[in-house]
Amino acid sequence: MSDQHGAPSDHRLPERDRPWMMRTYAGHSTAKASNELYRKNLEKGQTGLSVAFDLPTQTGYDPDDELARGEVGKVGVPVSHRGDMATLMDGIPLGEMNTSMTINATAAWLLALYIVAAEEQGVAQERLQGTTQNDIIKEFLARGTYAFPPAPSMRLIADMIAYTVEHVPRWNPINICSYHLQEAGATPVQEIAYAMSNAIAVLDAARERLGERADELMGQVFGRISFFVNAGVRFVEEHAKLRAMGILWEELGRERYGVQDPRLLRFRYGVQVNSLGLTEAQPENNVQRIVLEALAVTIGRDARARAIQLPAWNEALGLPRPWDQQWSLRIQQVLAYETDILEYPDIFEGSKVMEGLVAELLEGARAEIAVVAEHGGAVEAVPYMKGALVDSHRERIRRIEAGEQIVVGQNRYTETEISPLTADAEGGILVVDHAVEAAQIEAVRRWRSTREEAAVDAALAELARVARAEDENLMPPTIAAARAGATTGEWSRTLREVFGSYRAPTGVGEASATPADDADGAGGPAAHELAELRAQVAALAERLGRRPKILVGKPGLDGHSNGAEQIAVRARDVGMDVVYEGIRLTPAQIAASALQEGVHVIGLSILSGSHRELIPAVIEALREAGVQAPVVVGGIIPEQDVAPLEQAGVAAVYTPKDFDLTRIMRDIVALVDEQSAVPASA
């Protein structure tokens, strides 16, 4: 890409810019099936890879672990050992490919497997290009696929940075993610501020890790940090956000880390546009939302994305099929090759509106960055930021419920013809074959039985030793373990034993009450309904002898807890006692909690597509424990799965189109009321 402005005119580039890198976030079922998908996508004109791993791989469990049940191969590809990685990358020249991996807690491990797979192709690690997402703070804040406590997690990141800067110099060891913050409800100011605070925490940790070599290497480290951002449908403001981030990033590099080289100071980002705003109702409308969001990150040359992946129109319904993903890739290609956006210098230069928006965002973000710093930095401020995000998200939901924020097809213009897009038997989504899990369990057991056990034991023992010896880098023993044939679960277990395990703060305790609370119903129809419901709950409490009590939790490995958190907060706001259990629960844990806590109703949330296995398993565990309380389920549940869930004993199923939380609460209260009429056997 040329930066020279020796152009024949001020308003045209001498030659058209090269397009950004085009990717599709893809992977499912098995390494072999995903490899076929990647090759097909590359043939279609995709220019980089973006690997989606399944949740067991992301959180460090093998397919045969109890916690992996129902999740194997669902939201991504399972990669358990170097054999899987070799299959996944088979026939793809790793020396030329640019591969982005959405992997965080286990990033060091997956990079090690990638390095070993390259070795087997005869490609040296120095030549590898790509990105490991590796942003653990946002996992604590928004996405939930963490594995270790904060301090050792930060050490793993710092070790990876220190290792790659010397040995895999073209690799981006970390992608600071503001993407998931927006998905969790962040406002643009919060998105900028928390991402920058997060970057500061990472850079500080890396500087410390480099020790005496920090002065020499810090510029290179800074230059290798890239961002992974989000873009919503308010695309003008979203574009301003990216310009503001570029300004703050350069400032940070100069002032805090003493970086001088302008090339190293450049704000580099990849993007996946917004999924939160995609609707289940009239899902075809998502196409135009995606197009506009893509425009936000491409339209202005000074803040254009380096790499883009677009979600598919049917993300709120379930997993996208290859055809759905192709449609999204074609959107990128039309933007890049048919429109004229790549022919001009920055089109917002001198725009009063753009400058004004940027100034506004900068001011807000600087203030919020200062607040996070006062909390002791991003790691220490996780509970604060989490609470602030839960609050913002709740405000967003309230505005949609109240009709203040219009979502076409959802809360306005809801009348619709029947969509031919969802008319097929599967409802227009990809259904992962349920036999995949059993086959993967079989496969990983076979792998373990055919490798040289002594070599694996020795490699893991060395890994544990280095983990305890805090001043050594974890990457070399991790790569050695990958070579020896250790599995994802074994690598993680070894580190869990040294580092301990961890549960992130839930944010719900920090969230404040619904603003309409104190208005005594003066805040519009939603507030009226809330007050009415609250009176109902109080009457019910009187009759029950104690407050109606609800257990809210997420079975399985899916860490997207935003929906569950909003349900928990709203249940509290209507006057219920809420036991919020958070993420990653086994059916047995949910049953034990429900029994011990004496809850009247249980709310489960699943977004990973594992509901068909996990929900019946939870109900079975509950009934075995003698808990009769009704179960309601929320999440991305395809229409055709609702009836089977109800047959399994689920009292009600809620999907993204049920955006009115107060209405959901009214159902739940009615459910408890009904049950209480039946004499309980204590």
- Positions that interact with other proteins (CB under 8 A): 149, 498-501, 503, 506, 508-509, 513-514, 517, 534, 537-538, 541, 543-547, 568-569, 571-582, 586, 588-589, 591-593, 595-598, 682
Give least dist CB 645 to other proteins, A: 23
Is 239 annotated in the active site?
Answer: no
Query: Which helix (H) or strand (E) element contains residue 131?
Result: strand 129-132
Of 241, 393, 554, 611, catalytic: 554
| Nearest CB to other proteins, comparing residues 454 and 469 | 469
Measured from the CB atom, is 18 or 543 closer to other proteins? 543
For residue 25, indicate whether it is catalytic: yes
Euclidean distance between CA atoms 117 and 563, whole angstroms: 38
Partner residues linked to 120 by β-bridges: none
Strands 307-309 and 129-132 turn out to be: unpaired
Q: Which is nearer to other proteins, 418 or 682 (CB)?
A: 682
Q: What is the side-by-side strand order in the sheet with 98-102?
A: 25-26, 49-52, 98-102, 129-132, 171-172
Closest approach, Cβ 503 to other proteins, in A, equals 6
Nearer to other proteins, 306 or 570 (CB): 570
Least spacing, CB of residue 194 vs other proteins, in Å: 21
C-alpha dist (Å) from residue 403 to 235, 285, 400, 679: 21, 18, 5, 41
611 in active site: no
* Closest CB to other proteins among residues 424, 624: 624
Min dist. Cβ of residue 537 to other proteins (A): 7
Which burial class, exposed, middle or buried, applies to 524 when counting CB atoms under 10 A from its CB (0-12, 13-18, 19+)?
middle
Backbone angles phi, psi at 584, to 5 degrees: 60, 55
Looking at 28, 74, 138, 180, which residue is catalytic? 180
Report the nearest approach of other proteins to the CB of residue 595 (Å): 5
Q: Among candidates 590, 573, 680, 588, which has minimal Cα distance to 633?
A: 590
Catalytic (active site) residue 471: no
Shortest distance in whole angstroms from residue 276 CB to other proteins:
23
Among residues 238 and 558, whose Cβ is nearest to other proteins? 558
With H, G, I as helix, E, B as strand and everything else as coil, classify residue 601: strand
Q: Are 564 and 592 in contact (CB under 8 A)?
A: no
Residue 513 Cβ vs other proteins, minimum distance, rounded to whole Å: 4
- Which stretch of DSSP H or E encloses residue 176? strand 175-177
Helix axes 475-484, 488-499, angle to 10 degrees: 140
H or E element in which residue 125 lies: none
Active-site residue, 302 included: no
SS3 for 136-166 is HHHHHHHHCCCCCCHHHHHHHHHHHHHHHHH
Decide if 560 is catalytic: yes
Measured from the CB atom, the residue of 500 and 525 that comes closer to other proteins is: 500
Nearer to other proteins, 525 or 626 (CB): 626
Q: Exposed, middle or buried, 283 (CB in 10 Å: 0-12/13-18/19+)?
A: buried
Q: What is the DSSP string of 265-281?
A: H---EEEE--STT--SS
Based on the number of CB atoms within 10 Å of its own CB, is 396 exposed (0-12), middle (13-18) or buried (19 or more)? middle
Among 64, 84, 135, 558, which one carries the catalytic annotation? Answer: 558
Catalytic residue, from 38, 163, 179, 654: name it.
Answer: 179
Please identify, using beta-carbon distances, which residue of 406 and 522 lies nearer to other proteins. Answer: 522
User: CB 629 → other proteins: shortest distance, Å?
Assistant: 11
Q: Which of 454, 476, 449 lies closest to 465 in space, CA to CA? A: 476
The CA-CA-CA angle for residues 606, 133, 436, to 5°, reads 45
Catalytic, out of 560, 600, 641, 654: 560
**Min CB(491)–other proteins separation in Å:** 17
Query: Which residues have a catalytic role annotated?
Result: 25, 179-180, 554, 558, 560
